[in-house]
């Protein structure tokens, strides 16, 4: 199954939304998309994992690599992840300590939303 990736700009930040599974086969698509954005100068990025149904270690590696590239260029990199099962993956690997993880896009932009979840999810 091919990964669908949507790219939008909101509030001066580029939002990448992968739809489907990010695994050994499909992570190359996400990696290419992120690298293309970074090379074109878009270094304020967020990856919205709301519609991502699965994320494996290769997908995590892609996110880590993109974060490193963006931070080397003095940009910002954040995640939107409302899924508890994925959040557990970030916590188990201690990646919740290096990624800014937001529960919603509204929280990413600092706007109050109807949710009562914190802006940046605790470890």
**What would the pLDDT profile of 3-36 be if each residue is shown by its tens digit?**
999 999 998 899 999 999 999 999 999 999 999 9
Q: Which residue has the higher pLDDT, 118 or 86?
A: 86
Phi, psi of 57 (to 5 degrees): -65, -30
Residue 63: per-residue pLDDT:
97
Residue 117: per-residue pLDDT:
38
Residue 60: per-residue pLDDT:
96
- 107: exposed, middle or buried (Cβ count in 10 Å: 0-12, 13-18, 19+): buried
Q: What kind and span of H or E run contains 4? A: strand 4-10
Rounded distance between C-alpha atoms, residue 6 and residue 95, angstroms? 24
Rounded distance between C-alpha atoms, residue 69 and residue 75, angstroms? 9
Delimit the domains of the chain by residue range: 4-108
Q: Which of 83, 6, 23, 91 is nearest to 59 (CA)?
A: 23
Residue 1: per-residue pLDDT:
58
Residue 111: per-residue pLDDT:
53
Condensed to tens digits (0 to 9), the pLDDT of residues 35-72 reads: 999 999 999 999 999 999 999 999 999 999 999 999 99
For 94-98, 112-116, 117-121, which range has the lowest pLDDT when averaged over its residues?
112-116
Pair 75, 44: CB distance under 8 Å:
yes
Q: How far is CA 29 from the centre of its chain?
A: 14
Q: What CATH superfamily is the domain 4-108? A: STAS domain (3.30.750.24)
């Amino acid at each position: 199954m091919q990964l669908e990736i949507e790219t939008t700009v909101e509030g001066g930040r580029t939002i990448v939304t992968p739809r489907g599974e990010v695994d050994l086969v499909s992570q190359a698509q996400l990696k290419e998309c992120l690298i293309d954005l970074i090379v074109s100068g878009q270094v304020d990025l967020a990856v919205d994992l709301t519609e991502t149904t699965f994320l494996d270690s290769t997908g995590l590696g892609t996110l880590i690599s993109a974060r490193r590239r963006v931070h080397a260029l003095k940009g910002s990199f954040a995640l939107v992840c409302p899924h508890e099962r994925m959040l557990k993956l970030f916590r188990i690997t201690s990646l919740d300590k290096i990624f800014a993880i937001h529960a919603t896009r509204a929280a990413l932009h600092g706007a109050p939303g109807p949710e009562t979840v914190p802006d940046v999810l605790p470890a």
